[in-house]
Amino acid sequence: MSTGVRPRPRVVLAKPGLDGHDRGVKVVGMALRDAGAEVVYLGLQQTAAQIARAAAAEDADVIGLSVLSGVHVDVARQVLAACAGEDLGDVPLVVGGTIPPADVIRLRDLGVRDVFPVGTPLDDLVARIFAIAATEEEVPDEQ
Amino acid sequence: MSSEPRPVVTDSGIPLDPIYDATSVADDLAGRLGRPGEPPFTRGPYQTMYRERLWSMRQYAGYGSADDTNARFRYLLDQGQTALSVAFDLPTQLGYDSDDELVLSEVGRVGVAIDSVEDMEAVFAGLPIDQLSVNFTINGTAPIILAFYLVAAERQGADLAQVAGTLQNDILKEFLARKTFIFPPDHSIRLVADVVEYCSEHLPRFNGISITGYHAREAGCDAVQEIGLTMASAIAYTEAFLARGLDFDAFAPRLSFHFSSQLDLFEEASKVRAARRMWSSLALERFGAKKETSARLRFFSGCSGATLTAQQPLNNVVRSTLQCLAAVLGGAQSIHVMGYDEALEIPTEESVRLALRTQQIIAHESGVAKVIDPLAGSYFVEHLTDEIEERAWELVRRVEDGGGLVELLAQGVPQRWVAESAYRYEQEVRSGERVKVGVNRYVDDDGVVPPLFEVDGASAARQRERLAGRLAERDGDAVAAALATLRTALVDGTNSMPHIMQAGRVGATLGEIADTMRAVFGVYREPQPW
């Protein structure tokens, strides 16, 4: 468990399922890195179990999934279950990609912390991921 | 207001003067233009172009089961579409059957699920294969899909010499941009060559490969990189085919190309004019083409999904219209226009019909198809064509100096170029330097969403049931024998196509054939970007 706000939040990004379109996840990774985050990109075709194990090994502050093939709801459900299995249930999960508005609500109801459909302004996305990483820490940083 | 005016540039960053005149154009303009249908093909691959025949209106379609897709194809043909283009689901693209536990939620999702020859027969049920022209968007499993299609054609009683269409079959762009590769590059290119060899011997009306810049462009590169990387790919494939002993003039006339059409109208039209000139020069000067048709670049133009916005989705109708217009001004042989709702979901029947109508209005009402290469002689367009060509050659040289495209892809270098361009684009949108209407200018937040396509949740289950039925009916010994023969051909290096067809005939599934290939070739994992 972390003991304070990390100066650099650690974000684990992955593309679950079989979709190969990785423009979005790479742009997000570069934007987060430029904003000061540590970014671990797991690459393509990651299974839920692989993502959960990597998030545990990397001590992730946030897990981000990028899905453009329409299977975001199934995949988010699987990753949340795998994280719970790894005792990682409290690591916030965010999902981005081609996501219709109705599914944003479905994802949030499942327990996904934030959703970034196509068209989310990049600054907005980075700020929201940093905010999520900060609020996840057990003990706030002493100023 | 800033005191320093920003330089005005094209989408690819080419600086633009305020006005162009006769001094902007190369001296030998007539020689650089030539005539349509003659080298260097700047003005088009055919003498008569759209006067004699319009481009093929080829909307990309496919979803759910084979029966669902058959229904969509019949609808599109009824609406006046003139050729078909099949989208396959991700399991089919990656060589998994619909009952594979890795892929349950992706069956029939972004394209049709094909497990067996019987599925392919169902896709084309009632559609005479020998009278169609069909594009197959498939790469990793391209030999299997072609084999299944040819067996389905046989079963319809078609003559293979009449089978027309295009197999995408460009594996290099999968490593570069789209990422649905399966096997390592050397084995992948061998399979591409098996197909191209088979096509040059048996399928005179079929394009065995479509060398593609589209996906790198959609993944973020600019128009100059798109053309440069496509030519670098064309060089890599040609060298591989020649190394295998194929004769250049036997395969080159059936090479097809695929570009993206985006929004910078004049740059997009100039880009393809430059590309035709580049391939003409490669074919005639570098590869010693004896036939003029070997030097003639024909291309399919896909309008750009990456430029569409989820905000104010109806604006995408206008974007797609401009992109289709750019493709027509550039002289495309075949065009797909995106549905306006594709930043949100796969398109509805209504948005697909509007996309097709967009093509029809441009074709029949706008007048732009009435003359060949209407932009020729424009000081601006000719200057831009020269400039793009020069910059794209520079990129080709850079790739060659780095050891060629296959070598650079293994190092992850061009993948990085594409990712960096994509990031630069987003930063320009973020800063407002690049205007996106409805996104960073003229924004309104009314949240209006058009009615979206609903995936039929029962369709995947139907597909799995159908597969189970096929597996129960077939002769298991015949399948095992066919797969063993295929395995031997894969190891020996003999052309695999006839053996894949035989496996399909006796009921082997796409997943079983792909597994046979995986066992011989192994699978590829890409180098990490950082």
> Is A118–B220 a contact, with Cβ atoms under 8 angstroms apart?
no
**Do residues A11 and A30 make contact, with C-beta atoms less than 8 angstroms apart?**
no
Single pTM value for the model: 0.92
**Model confidence band, residue A143 (pLDDT cutoffs 50, 70, 90):** very low
Residue type, B148: F
Residue B1 confidence (pLDDT): 47
Give the pair of three-digit tokens for residue A103: 């599914």
Tokens of B358: 């967009």
Sign of the alpha-carbon dihedral angle for B402, B404, B410, B412: positive
Q: What is the ipTM of this complex?
A: 0.84
Per-residue confidence (pLDDT) for residue A4, from 0 to 100: 54
User: Taking CB atoms and an 8 Å limit, are A30 and B430 in contact across chains?
Assistant: no
pLDDT score of B444: 87
Cα three-residue angle B333-B337-B339, rounded to 5 degrees: 165
DSSP assignment letter at B15: B
To the nearest whole Å, the CA of A68 is away from the closest chain B CA by 9
Percent of residues, chain B, with pLDDT higher than 70: 98
pLDDT of residue A140: 45
User: What's the confidence (pLDDT) of residue B103?
Assistant: 85
CA neighbor of A18 nearest in space, from B216, B140, B189: B140
Give residues 343 to 362 of B whose Cβ lies within 8 Å of A: 343-346
Within 8 A of A18 by CB-CB distance, chain B residues are: 90-91, 93-94, 96, 102-103, 106, 180
Cβ(B356)–Cβ(B79) under 8 Å? yes
Q: Distance (Å, rounded) from C-alpha B156 to C-alpha B121?
A: 9
Quote the pLDDT of residue A137: 53
> Which phi and psi (to 5°) does residue B461 adopt?
-65, -40
The span from the CA of B328 to the CA of B299, in Å, is: 11
How far is it, in rounded angstroms, from Cα B257 to Cα B81? 21
Q: Do B110 and A30 touch (CB under 8 A)?
A: no
Q: Both tokens of residue B474?
A: 């077939």
Q: Do A26 and B306 touch (CB under 8 A)?
A: no
Spatial separation of the C-alpha atoms in residues A131 and B8, rounded to whole Å: 38
Q: Higher-confidence residue: B174 or A69?
A: B174
Name which of B89, B139, B179 to mutate to probe chain A: the one with the most chain A Cβ atoms within 10 A of its Cβ: B179
Cβ B156 vs Cβ B124: under 8 Å: yes
**Out of B429, B455, B529, closest to residue A26 by CB:** B529
Q: Residue B197 — φ and ψ, nearest 5°?
A: -65, -45
* Share in percent of chain A as helix, strand, coil (round to 5): 40, 20, 40
Q: Tell me which residues of chain B, numbers 280 to 319, contact chain A at a CB-CB cutoff of 8 Å.
A: 306, 309-311
**Which residue on chain B is closest to A69 by alpha carbon?**
B110
Q: What is the largest CA-CA distance in chain A?
A: 45
Partner B, chain A 69-128, Cβ-Cβ below 8 Å: 69-71, 74-75, 98, 100-101, 117-119, 121-123
φ and ψ at residue B135, rounded to 5 degrees:
-100, 135
Helix/strand number for chain A, H first, E second? 5, 5
Residues B99/A64, Cβ–Cβ less than 8 Å: no
Residues in chain B predicted with pLDDT less than 70, given as ranges, are: 1-4, 446-447, 529-530
B88 secondary structure, DSSP code: B
CB B230 within 8 A of CB B212: yes
**In B138-253, where do the E strands start and end?**
164-167, 206-207, 209-212
Annotate B48-83 with DSSP letters as a single string: SGGGT-PPEE--EE--BSHHHHHHHHHHHHHTT--S
Contact B62, B111 (CB under 8 A): yes
Q: CB of B219 within 8 Å of any CB in chain A?
A: yes
Q: What pLDDT sits at residue A72?
A: 95
Give the pLDDT confidence score for residue B7 in this predicted structure.
Answer: 87
DSSP designation for B481 = H
A-B contacts (CB, under 8 Å) = 99
Nearest CB to B528: which of A30, A43, A71?
A43
Q: What are phi and psi of B425, to 5 degrees?
A: -55, -50
Give me the sign of the Cα torsion angle B510, B514, B517, B519: negative
Question: Cβ–Cβ contacts within 10 Å for residue B31, how many?
Answer: 10
Distance CA B236, CA B233 (A): 5
- Going across the sheet that includes B206-207, the strands are B60-61, B84-87, B133-137, B164-167, B206-207
B 56-75 near A (Cβ less than 8 A) = none
Q: Which pairing describes strands B164-167 and B255-261: parallel, antiparallel, or unpaired?
A: unpaired
Mapping DSSP to helix (H, G, I), strand (E, B) and coil, where does residue B463 land?
A: helix
Nearest to B86 by CA among B124, B135, B151, B121: B135
Confidence of residue A5 (pLDDT cuts 50, 70, 90): low
